[in-house]
Structure formats: C-alpha cells, structure tokens
C-alpha cells in the first residue's frame, strides 16, 4: 500500500486558447505529496489552479503532462472512487429530493444495497444533525444545511480520502464550528482530508500541512508549525535613553524611540529576556511585553504579495 494518499508528479494542465488567444497554464509542473491520515490544506488565491488540480485528481479533466496518483492508483480510475469522496464548492443537489432521498441516491451510485443503505443514511443524517429535516425537500434547506448534506454524501461510502472544496464557506459561526469538529473527528478515525479553502483561520486550526499555489505554481509547502515559526515579541517601555538602541539592534530587534517611549519588535528566539535586562539596567520602566504569533494569513499574504518562491 502506498504511503501517500495523493502523489502528483510534474503535473501541468494547459487550456488551449481559441484562435489568437494564448494557451493558459492553469497548473505548472506541480509536485505534491499528501500523506495518509493527515489533513492537508491546499491554499491559493482565486485562479491559482486549486480546483483544476482537484478536477485532475477526480478524473474530471485530464492532465496535459505529468501524473497524479490517488491512493496509489492513477487519478480518475473509477475503482478508486469507492475509497474517495468529493465536496464541491457551493454544492448543488437535485433540489426536488429530500435530504434522505439524496443520500439514498448517492448510496445507490456506490451500489450499496438495502437494508445497509437505509442504515447508513439514517446514521449519517443523525451525524450531521439533519435527522429532523430528513424528509424536507432540499430546496427548503439553508446554505448550512446543504453543506451538511454535502458532507453526509461525502461520507456515505466511508471513504479513506475526502477532497473538500471550501467546506466552511458562507456558513454561520455555529455551523462553522460543527463542520470543523466533524473534520477533526474524521482525522481521528484515520481518514485523509485534502481541503481547499480561503478560510485561513479554519485551515490553521485543523491542518497538519499546507501548500500554497500561486498562478499555477507551488510556492510554499510544509508543516504548519514550521511555516508559522518566526513570530515576534513587542515590548513597550518608558523613560528609555537613546543609548539602548544600538545594543537592541545588535540583539536582532527593531527599536523605535519617541520622547523616551520605546517600542521594540524582537524576534521570538529568547533574546527578549536580554532586551528586558538591558532596558531595566538603564532605569527604564517596562509597560508591556506581548508575543505576536505569525498567522497563516500573514504567511499567505506575504507569499502571494511577495510573489516569490521560498
């Protein structure tokens, strides 16, 4: 059994232009590995190539060059689809069906027969909190309820790999938390989750590793703890003489002094203790010391606006 839930080698997807239009590379030479059992965040601004990559993984479109493997088999192999599930962004389902009927429909696509089908449908309706609305047509469902039914259809086959495109987009805070908890519960069961999302705060909470795609190219990939290391500590002090500025700079800090009030941004590497000692030694009064952790949003903005590979 392959160690990777997803393995992508030099994947390029080019859309040919009509007539005089130039061909567009939606994804360029993408190399990516997603380990089994992890929650992987697949990030990027609109048009970065995330959905194109997902469509290749599902066999809905074909790569121009390169290869993609899902659970050890070539992407798009319908036999593989017994083990995977997909939730598209803003999912639409046959809205004349009830919640129960749509789950029966998807279960039939897997060939799940009765009475097992009914058992799974009831269990999933309970799990996503839609038992009471199970017999209502989907057209009466709110966005949050549709997202829940979308997740339920993802789980009907008890998949090993779930590919979720914007699973929490447009949800109210309660639904947001419920779906986030469900994602964490799935990881605890050993499932692999590949999540494409713009909700960076959610990604930061649930993901083990992330990749950032920009203009079709992979610009960052790694464990969240590694990517987000390197925060800083802000210290504010009063009655500080100018003489402390140079020693602080030598310790790697960025001091600014106005009318005796000092603000220092010091790397989060332990050197703040020496800065505090230094400032106290000069008779200054420390007002506050506050650590600032680097967020995924900082990393994302820095990566995309910087535009460069790191």
Partner 1 sequence: MNATFAIAGATFGEAIRKRILMVILLAALVIILISPAFEPFAGRGQRTLILSFGFGIVQLAGTFIAIIMCTGLIPTEIERRTIYTILSKPVQRWSFVVGKYLGAVSTLAFVYLMMGMVFMIVSRIALGEFDPKIAQGLIMFFFQSSLLAAVTLFFSTFVSPLVNYFLSGGVFLMGNLMSSFLETIQRNPEITPWTRVPIQILTVILPNFANFNIQNPIINPEQVLTDEVAYLIQTVLYAIVYVVLLLVASILVFNQREM
Interface with partner 1 (CB under 8 A): 55, 58-62, 78-79, 81-82, 84-88, 90-94, 96-97, 105-106, 108-111, 150, 153, 157, 163
Output 11 or 304, the one with its CB closest to partner 1.
11
Backbone phi, psi, residue 124, to 5°? -70, -40
CB of 128 to partner 1, least distance (A): 16
Output 88 or 267, the one with its CB closest to partner 1.
88
Output 117 or 220, the one with its CB closest to partner 1.
117
What are the residues whose beta carbons fall under 8 Å from the beta carbon of 179, sequence distance 6 or more?
Answer: 147, 148, 151, 167, 168, 171
DSSP conformational letter for 243 = G
Closest by alpha carbon to 218, among 228, 229, 226, 210? Answer: 210
DSSP conformational letter for 294 = P
Output 56 or 299, the one with its CB closest to partner 1.
56
Output 90 or 123, the one with its CB closest to partner 1.
90
CB of 86 to partner 1, least distance (A): 4
- Tell me the pairing of strands 192-196 and 161-165: parallel
CB of 61 to partner 1, least distance (A): 4
Distance CA 266, CA 273 (A): 10
CB of 108 to partner 1, least distance (A): 4
Distance CA 228, CA 39 (A): 17
> Cα–chain-centroid distance for residue 110?
28
Closest by alpha carbon to 85, among 120, 110, 116? Answer: 110
CB of 203 to partner 1, least distance (A): 22
CB of 124 to partner 1, least distance (A): 15
Task: Give the bridge partners for 9, in sequence order.
Answer: 67
Output 4 or 105, the one with its CB closest to partner 1.
105
Distance CA 168, CA 141 (A): 16
Extract the tokens encoding 307.
């535009």
């Amino acid at each position: 059994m392959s160690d990777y839930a997803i393995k992508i080698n030099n994947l390029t997807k080019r859309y040919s232009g009509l007539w005089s239009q130039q061909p567009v590379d939606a994804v360029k030479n993408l190399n990516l590995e997603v380990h089994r059992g992890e929650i992987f965040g697949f990030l990027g601004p609109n048009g970065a190539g995330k959905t194109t990559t997902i469509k290749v993984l599902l066999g809905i479109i074909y790569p121009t060059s390169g290869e993609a493997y899902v659970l050890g088999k070539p992407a798009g192999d319908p036999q593989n689809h017994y083990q995977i599930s997909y939730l598209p962004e803003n999912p639409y389902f046959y809205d004349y069906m009830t919640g129960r009927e749509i789950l029966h429909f998807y279960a039939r696509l897997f060939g799940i027969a009765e009475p097992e089908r009914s058992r799974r449908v009831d269990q999933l309706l309970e799990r996503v909190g839609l038992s009471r609305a199970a017999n209502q047509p989907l057209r009466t469902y709110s966005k949050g309820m549709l997202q829940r039914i979308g997740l339920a259809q993802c789980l009907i086959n008890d998949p090993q790999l779930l590919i979720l495109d914007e699973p929490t987009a447009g949800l109210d805070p309660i639904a947001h938390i419920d779906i986030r908890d469900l994602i964490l519960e799935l990881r605890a069961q050993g499932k692999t989750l590949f999540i494409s999302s713009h909700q960076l705060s959610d990604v930061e909470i649930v993901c083990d590793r992330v990749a950032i795609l920009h203009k079709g190219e992979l610009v960052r990939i790694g464990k969240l703890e590694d990517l987000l290391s390197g925060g800083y500590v802000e210290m504010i002090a009063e009655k500080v003489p100018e003489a402390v500025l140079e020693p602080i700079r030598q310790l790697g800090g960025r001091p600014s002094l106005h009318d005796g009030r000092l603000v220092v941004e010091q790397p989060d590497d332990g050197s703040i203790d020496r800065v505090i000692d230094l400032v106290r030694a000069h008779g200054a009064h420390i007002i506050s010391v506050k650590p600032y952790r680097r967020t995924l949003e900082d990393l994302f903005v820095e990566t995309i606006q910087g535009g460069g590979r790191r």
